[in-house]
Amino acid sequence: SSRKQMGVSEDALMLAVLAQPLQPAAYAFVIHTRSPMTNANKEDALIEVVVGLGESLVSNSPGRALSASVGPGVAAPELHTFPSKPIGVFTPDGGTHIFRSDSNGEDLEVSPVRGSTTRSRSWIALTGL
């Protein structure tokens, strides 16, 4: 795992769990503040958009999200894929809750500038329309 490769001991691991009411959403998106795409400019962000909740985006369901790169030196977003996910996930009538976990032992890499351990952060945003 990247945790072991980066020398993060099990004693240093911290886990967080987020529990929150889930709002109805027409669209969901993820913004990778550092694009995970091969040959991406280090300043580029990658945006991925799906119909419905973000679960269809992060669950590895079949198809692709609408995706594009943006960056400080880019005049317009660079489109990579058109959406092709056949199924959208939606909040049931009456609502529900969502539970997500994260830890400081995931997605680690060495920063070439500082030589320290950093994380490439991603956020899931749910937007009701």
pLDDT at 17 over 50: yes
Q: How far apart are CA 106 and CA 86, in angstroms?
A: 30
Give CA 7 to chain center in angstroms: 24
Q: What is the pLDDT of residue 123?
A: 39
Q: Which candidate, 43, 71, 45, 46, places its Cα nearest to that of 57? A: 46
Q: Which candidate, 96, 95, 93, 82, places its Cα nearest to that of 51? A: 82
Dump pLDDT digits (tens) for 19-29.
888 888 889 99
Residue for token digits 């027409």?
26
What confidence tier does 108 reach under pLDDT thresholds 50, 70, 90?
Answer: low
Q: Retrieve residue 56's tokens.
A: 């269809």
Q: Retrieve residue 10's tokens.
A: 């099990």
Q: How far apart are CA 62 and CA 59, in angstroms?
A: 9
Q: What is the average pLDDT value for the chain, to the nearest integer?
A: 76
Q: Spell out the alpha helix ranges (H) of the chain.
A: 2-5, 55-58
Q: What is the pLDDT of residue 66?
A: 94
pLDDT at 112 over 50: no
Q: Which candidate, 52, 129, 44, places its Cα nearest to that of 91? A: 52
Q: Which candidate, 25, 47, 22, places its Cα nearest to that of 34? A: 47
